[in-house]
């Protein structure tokens, strides 16, 4: 009888354990082709998914405009936002991990027949994705025109509605691939390089997730996942050197 009851107890413990769902991390990102696509694919999503899986957690993603992602994070309706600059103002609102998610070069995209010597010389409207903060390298006098995404900015350039578009040039490369075109009359120029982070909510949970991100990122570097993803997505820049 005791053996039977012990077997039943072990069975129920096993069933209960199998039904325990891993804790979810809810993150938000702008739709960035090949980086954080709206369908949950892309380098950032694959990397973050692997990072939190190594820590026993699942990724739940949502797609929204960049400004909305930051707003949802500020009000703690989500856990984190993908690929964000670290600024003094944002550090007051969010919890940043020690590790960066990546880094990229930023600059201007414009028609080939446009010319400028320095960014201070620029005249005309400059497109910028709504919610982005490029104040570190764009002079305050520049006339900004907010856009929803890179394809919209390219169309506005071609129609003469803006003279330049400021963006992450890696994002521009991937956007052209997704559009399956690279207009011959459009060129780009790098002006600034900065780190990108995965900031979390400003509370105890946010600090816990930041710590898990740091630990998990080291694990995916050590097991080769990071290198495989960088090769898969043909990234121009990567964070492998952070661990070497």
Phi, psi of 11 (to 5 degrees): -60, -45
C-alpha triplet 210, 220, 29: angle, nearest 5°: 50
pLDDT in tens, 163-176: 999 999 989 988 98
The CA distances from residue 49 to 27, 36, 80, 87, 99, in Å, are 10, 11, 13, 25, 16
pLDDT value at position 132? 93
List pLDDT tens digits, range 27-65. Answer: 999 999 899 999 999 999 999 999 999 999 999 999 999
Contacts of 196 (CB under 8 A, 6+ apart): 83, 84, 85, 100, 101, 102, 103, 104
Confidence (pLDDT) at 170: 87
User: What is the per-residue pLDDT across 141-194, written as a single tens digit (0 to 9) for each?
Assistant: 899 999 999 999 999 999 999 999 999 998 998 898 888 777 788 999 999 999
Q: How far apart are the first and last CA of the chain?
A: 59
What's the gap between Cα 120 and its chain centre?
28
Of 168, 215, 212, nearest in space to 79 by CA = 212
The secondary structure of residue 218, as a DSSP letter, is: H
Q: What is the pLDDT of residue 115?
A: 83
Tokens of 70: 């930051």
**Could you give the domains of the chain?**
23-101+197-243 (3.40.190.10), 104-195 (3.40.190.10)
pLDDT digits (tens, 9 = 90+) for 64-123: 999 999 999 999 999 999 999 999 999 999 999 999 999 989 999 999 988 888 888 888
Phi, psi of 165 (to 5 degrees): -130, 125
> For 206-222, how does the pLDDT look when each residue is reduced to its tens digit (9 = 90+)?
999 999 999 999 999 99
pLDDT band at 230 (very low <50, low <70, confident <90, very high): very high
Helix extents (H) in the chain: 2-19, 43-53, 66-74, 88-93, 150-158, 169-179, 204-222, 225-233
| C-alpha atoms less than 13 angstroms from C-alpha of 35 in its C-beta half-sphere | 26
- 140 bridge partner residues: none
Judging by DSSP bridges, how do beta strands 80-81 and 23-29 pair with one another?
parallel
Buried b (16+ CB within 10 A) or exposed e, 54-83: bbebebebebbbbebbbbbbeeeebbbbbb
The model's pTM: 0.80
């Amino acid at each position: 009888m005791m053996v039977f009851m012990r077997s039943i107890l072990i069975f129920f413990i096993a069933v209960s354990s199998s039904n325990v769902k891993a804790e979810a991390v809810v993150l938000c990102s702008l739709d960035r082709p090949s980086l954080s696509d709206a369908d949950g694919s892309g380098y950032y999503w694959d990397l973050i998914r692997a990072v939190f899986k190594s820590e026993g957690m699942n990724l739940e993603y949502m797609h929204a405009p960049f400004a909305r992602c930051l707003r949802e994070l500020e009000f703690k309706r989500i856990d984190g936002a993908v690929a964000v600059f670290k600024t003094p103002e944002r550090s007051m609102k969010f919890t940043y991990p020690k590790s960066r998610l990546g880094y990229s070069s930023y600059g201007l995209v414009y028609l080939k027949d446009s010319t400028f010597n320095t960014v201070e010389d620029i005249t005309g409207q400059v497109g910028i994705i709504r919610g982005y903060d490029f104040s570190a390298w764009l002079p305050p006098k520049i006339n900004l025109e907010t856009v929803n995404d890179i394809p919209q900015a390219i169309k506005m350039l071609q129609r003469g509605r803006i003279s330049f578009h400021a963006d992450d040039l890696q994002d521009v490369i991937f956007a052209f691939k997704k559009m399956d075109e690279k207009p011959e009359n459009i060129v780009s120029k790098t002006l600034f390089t900065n780190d990108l982070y995965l900031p979390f909510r400003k509370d105890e949970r946010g600090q816990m997730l930041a710590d898990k991100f740091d630990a998990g990122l080291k694990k995916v570097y050590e097991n080769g996942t990071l290198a495989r993803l960088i090769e898969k997505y043909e990234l121009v820049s990567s964070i492998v050197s952070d661990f070497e």
